[in-house]
Every structure is written in C-alpha cells, then in structure tokens.
C-alpha cells in the first residue's frame, strides 16, 4: 500500500521531518511511503496513496502562504475523498502556533472528504493529540533530532491505521 507525506519547507526543517515520518511508515510491513515537496509531488503515487500526511512550517501562527495556496489549488487533484489524512508542523517556539497549523490542514482535509486521524490518546504514550510539532529555528538539525522518535512513531501509527482500514 502506498502512503505519501507532502510538505512545504523553505529552510529544510519540515522536509527533514517529512522524511522521518515516511521512515516510520515504512517500518510497517507492506507499506511503501514517499515524501514530496509541494513543488514536486508525484501525482500518480500520491493519487494511489491511501493515506496522505501534510506538513508545514508555522508562519505567523498560521500555515505558510505556499502551503495554503497548494491546498487550495493542487491538493484536490489527488483523489482525496475517503483517503486517510494527517498533519504535522514545525515551529520555532513551543507556543508559536504549530497546532493552529495542524488544525488548518485537518480542516482542509475534512472539507475535502478525507478521514482524519492522529491516534490521539488511543495509542498510549507518547500521546499525539492533533499531530506532531517539531520545535526548531531554521536549519537547527540538532534541535530537530530531539523529535525524531516522536515523528517516526507518528508515521508508524498512521501506517498501521491505513493498513487496518484498507488492507
């Protein structure tokens, strides 16, 4: 089963965490996962994906304009109704608005007929409520690494749910 992670990233943080989520997805047997920048989405692969996770940096406590525009103009071409959807964010500050970014993406997915999921408290600790947020300034790989296990686990949980729903 194919799964896609699609992201907007300017200084590399969100791109890096998208790859970590894809790694977690691939740890589940039978899952083929790829991560794409919004500028280079493989529309065939994403269209065939049963689950799409979207990620974005936090800009002024909101999605970046680039991601917002992509969701409005391009995302709807990926055959979204009935797919499993999830969202993640990166931000520089713990109260900088990362969860608002996730909520905006999930709202968009719901509006497009996707089935949104995060695992929430149902998968035990660490609890991931709306989706994971990694906190780091631009290009601060050391800070991002502290979130790798959480993001890998999130990818694994999304893939396990996709397998349960669609296999």
Ligand X SMILES: Cc1cc2nc3c(=O)[nH]c(=O)nc-3n(C[C@H](O)[C@H](O)[C@H](O)COP(=O)(O)O)c2cc1C
Chain positions contacting ligand X, by CB under 6 A:
9-15, 57-61, 90-93, 96-97, 136-138
The residue whose Cβ lies closest to ligand X is 96
Residue closer to ligand X by CB (options 59, 70) is 59
Question: Tokens standing for 126?
Answer: 């660490």
- Smallest distance from ligand X to CB 72, Å: 19
Residue closer to ligand X by CB (options 11, 27) is 11
- Smallest distance from ligand X to CB 4, Å: 17
Residue closer to ligand X by CB (options 12, 76) is 12
- Smallest distance from ligand X to CB 144, Å: 8
- Smallest distance from ligand X to CB 77, Å: 23
Residue closer to ligand X by CB (options 121, 137) is 137
- Smallest distance from ligand X to CB 90, Å: 3
- Distance, in Å, from the CA atom of 97 to the CA atom of 141, rounded to the nearest integer, reads 20
DSSP string for the chain? -EEEEEE--SSSHHHHHHHHHHHHHHTSTT-EEEEEETTS--HHHHHH-SEEEEEEEBSSSSB-HHHHHHHHHTGGGG--TT-EEEEEEEESSTTSSHHHHHHHHHHHHHHTT-EE---BGGG-SSPBSS--EEE--TT-HHHHHTTHHHHHHHHHHHHHHHHHHH-
- Distance, in Å, from the CA atom of 136 to the CA atom of 121, rounded to the nearest integer, reads 25
Residue closer to ligand X by CB (options 80, 101) is 101
């Amino acid at each position: 089963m194919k799964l896609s992670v699609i992201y907007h990233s300017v200084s590399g943080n969100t791109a890096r965490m998208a790859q970590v989520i894809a790694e977690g997805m691939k740890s589940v047997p039978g899952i083929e996962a790829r991560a794409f920048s919004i500028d280079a989405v493989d529309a065939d692969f994403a269209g065939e994906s049963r689950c799409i996770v979207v990620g974005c940096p936090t800009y002024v406590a909101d999605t970046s304009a680039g991601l917002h525009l992509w969701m409005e103009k391009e995302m709807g071409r990926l055959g979204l109704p009935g797919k499993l959807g999830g969202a993640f964010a990166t931000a520089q500050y713990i109260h900088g608005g990362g969860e608002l970014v996730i909520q905006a993406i999930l709202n968009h997915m719901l509006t497009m007929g996707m089935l949104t999921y995060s695992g929430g408290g149902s998968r035990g600790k660490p609890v991931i409520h709306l989706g994971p947020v990694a906190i780091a300034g631009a290009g601060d790989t050391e800070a991002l690494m502290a979130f790798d296990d959480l993001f890998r686990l999130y990818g694994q949980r999304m893939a396990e749910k996709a397998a349960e729903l669609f296999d």
